[in-house]
């Protein structure tokens, strides 16, 4: 981690490396409750008769938060926020290569915590394209402004933790164009599928992203540099629609997403140390339990015997089976499998396949946990292999399956939802023959 000095020239090395050649618990529940058997208007033709070719298992690429830049003296307070940190809201900026940058903050709800990330891409003319901006503290804006001028803002979904900060951000950068995903609702603004419908977000909206970047209707000024596919699902019996826009940045061959997939790193990134004490982070199971609670898997700990120095099977250690099954893999978060995909499998499947055929990419830039993730379109689809019950989309992403007993928390919540008519019914076995 590097604390940046006042001089603007301190970003030169980061910019040079970026130009190298190709190399919350409550929020997730709210998001899941609003999914169902809806409509997706993405047009796609996909050959599902043959499995994707087996390539390298996805890994992290250019993920180096330890070399992040910070500027705490510029200010880490923004009020009001919907969740902690309330005063010491640190921002870490690191280069992801290929003219892409991450601006990372923490999202904390009691003992549940996760990184929440803004993806920034420098366009061909030097302007900044900002995807899912977070709270514009003095530090955040300082680190962003050093990269270049903010010209375009994109809200890529309607999840609360990404939607809540954008109004404040747009007021800080009033001259930037603003494009949002469809189906916004709730206390932080409402907007339908077009501007012709009732739209009141509390800030100027230039457009709502259509189903595809090649269809009819108005397109954003940056459309020539991106392809995109929009997931839109809505059911009358749910709290509201759900949407997410996945975009392929052509020049950098990067897929930019919000929650489509995640990659769990081996240890907590350094930004956790700005909120949690060193003592608590060194406690046995801190990271494992943090990850499991964030994705709604139980903190189940088991014993295993290991050989001691003499070769005797006497030493006992502890591990978290749920964590072992999801770490270090390209993964669809279990909570979204259970709450979202289980209620809208056809719509989700169509969206995933439309992303696969959108064009070539070799990495994914996400908004939670670790990023960038080295991945091809086929590997992206394989993270959703449970949706393809005919077996034609087999998983390339090696790793143990999530055990049936580790789905118990999500099963119980779905039972409450179904029995009390709190949302659309589960219509798909999201556990995919769990062991």
Give the per-residue pLDDT at 177. 97
Cross-strand bridge partners of residue 70:
3
Q: What is the pLDDT of residues 268-284, one digit of tens each?
A: 999 999 999 999 999 99
Q: What is the pLDDT of residues 45-81, one digit of tens each?
A: 333 333 333 344 678 887 888 889 999 999 999 998 9
CATH of the domain at 162: 3.60.15.10
Q: How far apart are CA 130 and CA 103, in angstroms?
A: 10
Q: How far apart are CA 372 and CA 165, in angstroms?
A: 23
Mark 208-247 as b/e (b = at least 16 C-beta within 10 Å): bbbbbbeeeeebbebbebbbbbbbbbbbeebbbbbbbbbb
Domains held by the chain: number:
1
Give the per-residue pLDDT at 19. 40
Give the per-residue pLDDT at 411. 95
Give the per-residue pLDDT at 66. 84
Give the per-residue pLDDT at 14. 38
158 in a domain, yes or no? yes
What tokens were used for 20? Answer: 């190298």
423 in a domain, yes or no? no
pTM: 0.86
414 in a domain, yes or no? no
345 in a domain, yes or no? yes
Q: How many CB atoms lie within 10 A of CB 49?
A: 7
Give the per-residue pLDDT at 338. 93
Give the per-residue pLDDT at 281. 92
Max CA pair span of the chain: 75
Give the per-residue pLDDT at 248. 98
427 in a domain, yes or no? no
Element containing residue 119 per DSSP (H, E): strand 112-122
Give the per-residue pLDDT at 309. 66
421 in a domain, yes or no? no
Q: 3-class DSSP state for residue 279?
A: helix
Q: How far apart are CA 386 and CA 200, in angstroms?
A: 38
Burial class of residue 9 in the structure, from the number of CB atoms within 10 Å of its CB (0-12 exposed, 13-18 middle, 19+ buried): exposed
Give the per-residue pLDDT at 110. 76
57 in a domain, yes or no? yes
Backbone angles phi, psi at 76, to 5 degrees: -120, 15
314 in a domain, yes or no? no
Residues of the chain with pLDDT under 50: 7-56
Ordered alpha helix ranges (H), 148-228:
160-163, 166-172
Give the per-residue pLDDT at 313. 66
Q: How far apart are CA 335 and CA 406, in angstroms?
A: 12
Range of the domain at 99: 2-268+327-401
């Amino acid at each position: 981690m590097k604390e940046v000095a006042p001089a603007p020239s301190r970003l030169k090395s980061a910019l040079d490396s970026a130009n190298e050649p190709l190399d919350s618990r409550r929020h997730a529940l709210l998001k899941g409750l609003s999914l169902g058997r809806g409509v997706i208007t993405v047009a796609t033709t996909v050959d599902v008769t043959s499995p994707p070719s087996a390539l390298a298992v996805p890994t992290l690429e250019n993920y180096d938060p330890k070399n992040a830049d910070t500027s705490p003296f510029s200010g880490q307070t923004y009020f009001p926020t919907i969740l902690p940190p309330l005063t010491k809201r640190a921002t870490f900026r690191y280069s992801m290569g290929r003219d892409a940058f991450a601006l990372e903050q923490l999202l904390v709800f009691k003992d549940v915590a996760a990184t929440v990330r803004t993806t920034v891409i420098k366009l061909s003319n030097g302007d900044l394209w900002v995807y899912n901006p977070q709270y514009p503290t003095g530090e955040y804006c300082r680190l962003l402004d050093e990269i270049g001028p903010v010209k375009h803002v994109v809200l890529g979904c309607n999840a609360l933790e990404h939607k809540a900060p954008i109004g404040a951000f747009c007021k800080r950068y009033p001259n930037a164009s603003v494009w949002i995903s469809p189906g916004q609702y709730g206390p932080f603004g409402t907007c339908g599928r077009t501007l012709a419908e009732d739209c009141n977000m509390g800030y100027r909206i230039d457009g709502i992203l259509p189903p595809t970047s090649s269809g009819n209707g108005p397109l954003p000024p940056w459309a020539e540099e991106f392809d995109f596919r929009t997931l839109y699902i809505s059911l009358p019996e749910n709290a509201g629609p759900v949407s997410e826009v996945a975009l392929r940045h052509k020049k950098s061959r990067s897929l930019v997403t919000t929650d489509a997939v995640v990659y769990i790193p081996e240890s907590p990134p350094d930004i956790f140390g700005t909120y949690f004490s060193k003592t608590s982070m060194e406690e046995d199971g801190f990271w494992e339990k943090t990850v499991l609670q964030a994705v709604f898997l139980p903190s189940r700990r088991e014993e295993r015997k290991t050989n001691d120095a003499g070769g005797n099977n006497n030493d006992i250690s502890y591990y978290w089976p749920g964590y072992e099954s999801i770490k270090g893999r390209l993964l669809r978060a279990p909570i979204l499998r259970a709450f979202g995909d289980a209620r809208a499998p056809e719509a989700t499947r169509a969206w995933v396949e439309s992303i696969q055929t959108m064009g070539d990419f070799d990495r994914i830039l996400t908004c939670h946990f670790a990023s960038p993730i080295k991945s091809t379109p086929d590997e992206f689809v394989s993270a959703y292999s449970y949706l393809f019950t005919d077996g034609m989309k087999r998983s390339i992403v090696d790793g143990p399956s999530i055990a049936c007993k580790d789905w118990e928390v999500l099963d119980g919540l779905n039972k409450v939802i179904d029995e009390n008519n709190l949302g659309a019914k589960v219509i798909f076995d999201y556990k995919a023959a769990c062991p």
